[in-house]
């Protein structure tokens, strides 16, 4: 029989388990508007902690993030099933309710951790602000000029890429992951905030599931790992590695991470990454250009696209079109809502911020 003292300790334990994460979430909501506090936290505490975790988990060859996520979600399902079974057997709602509260408390702890180990990065000065990059308005002609520049650069590099029969991209992906540790060396000379000791990105075993949900990779702040979908078209995997590694450097915005990843690729010494970066940038730029001047887009595609570039372009479009589904739309909407809840007004539906940076940064290189 439980003593009164034991019951009192249990009550205090439950109370602490709920109030501590709830207090952390409330504190985050109160402080997130204070940029100075968030900046101090992110760059003095959060980033060093995550980089330590990243170096620690780099000792294992697989994605710890993927394993931990799988175990956690499986544990939640088992917990719910067991709670339902006990409810049906015992006809006692109170134990069932306690189990639901316990599971909710675990998710509350998870949300509190996410707030302080990642969401805080949305409330510091943006990468463009930290590095003094311009995002000035530009003309359609300037957009078209940068788009053509990317198309010609990609077309020139495309024949240098290993290819299978039919001209399909055939570079071995393990080589790309190995080479990724050198990816940021050159761009860090220009942007000092990117000068961080590199940690190797990791391929995801459940990459097909990522594709079904519409994602090409994910940064996991609890382990500091950059995780990459390797089921997606291989021609864009190197650029995706660069994108996820940008998050390791506290570039939180998806669109800024796109720009940083592209800039890292195009400035590095590896032809594979250069090509992949120009291809990813070309996709972003073409989407923007087509929406304002379809004729300019068709003209560039007709004049600048090489045979090899066209094959990769077609392979990428065909892959994602084949996987379009309500599941992808639902996952995209959920992530879009998550970003907007952290004051990321563009969400994931707009390429505007990335294109703004690309045009302003690369127009001087033409």
Q: Is the CB of residue 311 less than 8 Å from the CB of residue 167?
A: yes
Residue range 306-324: average pLDDT?
Answer: 94
Is 151 found in the same domain as 207? yes
Report the pLDDT value the prediction gives residue 136, as an integer from 0 to 100.
85
pLDDT for 334 beyond 70: no
CA nearest to 196, candidates 38, 361, 55, 357: 55
Report the pLDDT value the prediction gives residue 330, as an integer from 0 to 100.
61
Could you give the residue ranges of the DSSP H alpha helices within the chain? 4-31, 35-41, 47-57, 64-90, 93-117, 127-131, 140-157, 173-179, 187-190, 207-212, 237-248, 254-267, 271-292, 294-304, 307-322, 326-341, 352-362
Report the pLDDT value the prediction gives residue 42, as an integer from 0 to 100.
98
pLDDT for 4 beyond 70: no
Report the pLDDT value the prediction gives residue 5, as an integer from 0 to 100.
55
Q: At which of 83, 102, 123 does a domain end?
A: 123
Q: What is the DSSP letter of 252?
A: -
Please state, in angstroms and rounded to a whole number, the distance separating the CA atoms of residues 153 and 263: 13
Q: What is the pTM of this model?
A: 0.90
Is 164 found in the same domain as 57? no
pLDDT for 348 beyond 50: no
Q: How many CA atoms lie within 13 A of 73 on its CB side?
A: 6
Confidence bin at 10 (pLDDT 50/70/90): low
Report the pLDDT value the prediction gives residue 110, as an integer from 0 to 100.
96
Query: What confidence tens digit (pLDDT) does each residue in 252-283 have?
Result: 999 999 999 999 999 999 999 999 999 999 99
Report the pLDDT value the prediction gives residue 15, as an integer from 0 to 100.
76
Query: What confidence tens digit (pLDDT) does each residue in 142-193 have?
Result: 999 999 999 999 999 999 999 998 899 999 999 999 999 999 999 999 999 9
Is 82 found in the same domain as 25? yes
Query: What confidence tens digit (pLDDT) does each residue in 192-243 have?
Result: 999 999 999 999 999 999 999 989 999 999 999 999 999 999 999 999 999 9
Is 67 found in the same domain as 184? no
Q: What is the DSSP letter of 140?
A: H
Is 167 found in the same domain as 143? yes
Can you give the C-alpha Rg of the chain in angstroms?
23
Q: Which residue has the higher pLDDT, 44 or 10?
A: 44
Is 182 found in the same domain as 255? yes
pLDDT for 350 beyond 50: no
The SS3 assignment for 275 reads helix
Is 314 found in the same domain as 206? yes
Please state, in angstroms and rounded to a whole number, the distance separating the CA atoms of residues 146 and 100: 54
Please state, in angstroms and rounded to a whole number, the distance separating the CA atoms of residues 298 and 313: 14
Is 182 found in the same domain as 43? no
Is the alpha carbon torsion for 62, 182, 207, 243 positive or negative? Answer: positive
Helices 352-362 + 271-292 axis angle, to 10:
110
Is the alpha carbon torsion for 234, 353, 184, 215 positive or negative? Answer: negative
Find the domain containing 36 and state its range: 4-123
pLDDT for 346 beyond 50: no
Is 138 found in the same domain as 58? no
Is 284 found in the same domain as 193? yes
Mean pLDDT of the chain: 90
CA nearest to 355, candidates 190, 156, 138: 138
* Strands, sheet with 202-203, edge to edge from the N-terminal-most edge strand: 202-203, 225-228, 217-220
Is 164 found in the same domain as 85? no
| Domain tally, the chain | 2
Q: Please state, for a pLDDT cut of 90, what percent of the chain lies above it.
A: 77
Q: At which of 87, 107, 123 does a domain end?
A: 123
Is 213 found in the same domain as 353? yes
Confidence bin at 313 (pLDDT 50/70/90): very high
Q: Please state, for a pLDDT cut of 70, what percent of the chain lies above it.
A: 89
Q: At which of 123, 139, 171 does a domain end?
A: 123
Which residues sit opposite 284 in a β-bridge? none
């Amino acid at each position: 029989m439980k003593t009164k003292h034991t019951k009192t300790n249990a009550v205090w334990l439950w109370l602490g388990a709920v109030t501590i994460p709830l207090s952390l979430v409330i504190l985050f909501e109160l402080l997130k508007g204070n940029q100075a506090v968030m900046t101090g936290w992110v760059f003095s505490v959060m980033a060093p902690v995550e980089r330590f975790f990243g170096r620690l988990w780099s000792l294992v060859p697989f994605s710890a993030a993927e394993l931990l996520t799988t175990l956690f979600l499986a544990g939640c399902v088992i917990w719910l099933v067991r709670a339902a079974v006990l409810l049906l057997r015992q006809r006692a709602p109170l134990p069932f309710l306690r189990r639901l509260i316990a599971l909710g408390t675990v998710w509350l702890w998870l949300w509190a951790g996410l707030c302080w180990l990642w969401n805080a990065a949305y409330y510091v000065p943006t990468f463009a602000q930290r590095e003094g990059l311009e995002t000035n308005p530009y003309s359609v002609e300037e957009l078209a000029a940068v788009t053509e520049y990317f198309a010609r650069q990609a077309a020139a590099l495309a024949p240098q890429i290993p290819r299978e029969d039919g001209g399909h991209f055939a570079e071995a992906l393990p080589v790309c992951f190995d080479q990724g540790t050198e990816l940021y060396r050159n761009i860090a000379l220009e942007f000092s905030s990117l000068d961080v000791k590199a940690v190797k990105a990791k391929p995801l075993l459940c990459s097909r599931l990522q594709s079904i949900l519409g994602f090409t990779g994910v940064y996991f702040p609890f382990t500091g790992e950059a995780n990459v979908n390797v089921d997606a078209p291989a021609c864009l995997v190197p650029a995706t590695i660069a994108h996820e590694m940008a998050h390791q450097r506290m570039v939180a915005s998806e669109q800024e991470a796109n720009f940083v990843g592209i800039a890292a690729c195009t400035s590095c010494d590896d032809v594979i990454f250069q090509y992949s970066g120009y291809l990813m940038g070309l996709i972003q730029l073409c989407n923007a250009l087509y929406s304002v001047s379809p004729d300019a887009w068709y003209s560039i595609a007709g004049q600048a696209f090489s045979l090899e570039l066209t094959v990769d372009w077609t392979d990428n479009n065909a892959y994602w079109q084949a996987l379009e589904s309500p599941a992808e739309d639902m996952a995209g909407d959920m992530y879009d809502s998550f970003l907007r809840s952290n004051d990321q007004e563009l969400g994931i539906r707009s390429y505007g911020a990335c294109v703004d940076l690309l045009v302003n940064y690369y127009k001087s290189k033409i």
